[in-house]
Amino acid sequence: MKTIIETTHAPKPVGPYSQAVKVGQFLFCSGQIAIDPKTNQVLKGTVQEQAKLVMQNIAAVLNEAGCGFEKVIKTTIFLKKMDDFASVNEVYGTFFKQPYPARSTIEVSALPKGVDVEIEVTAVI
């Protein structure tokens, strides 16, 4: 049985998907991009500013599900330019403490709404 997780403190989905889905002890969070949930506008700042807003949006979804970053077991980061890896990594690292989750980072040709970074997470509740 799956439970849909939704919060107004994270952006509304930009397509036919849920912010997160809980199945058993697992929470699967859809990729978040740099959209301000208050205005529903894309942040066109630096990749670090975008990454911070993405992580804040993820935090809001996790919070709605009753957990936090300490419960995240896997993340995937999508970057338009792998040259941004260090900048995004710096921001990303401020949201996690050891033991860190498993992670993949992938360079892609484009991301929704023209953003530079998208991050998805899987957590155990």
Per-residue pLDDT tens for 2-16? 999 999 999 999 899
- pLDDT single digits (tens) 13-66: 989 999 999 999 999 999 999 999 999 999 989 999 999 999 999 999 999 999
Looking at the structure, give the CATH architecture of the domain made up of residues 2-124: 2-Layer Sandwich (3.30)
Identity of residue 76: T
> What pLDDT is stored for residue 23 in this prediction?
98
Separation of alpha carbons 28 and 124, rounded Å? 9
- pLDDT single digits (tens) 78-123: 999 999 999 999 999 999 999 999 999 999 999 999 999 999 999 9
Helices (H), the chain: 47-64, 85-93
| Token pair belonging to 43 | 């942040």
Separation of alpha carbons 45 and 4, rounded Å? 31
Q: Full-prediction pTM beyond 0.75?
A: yes
The structural domains of the chain, with segments of one domain joined by +, span 2-124
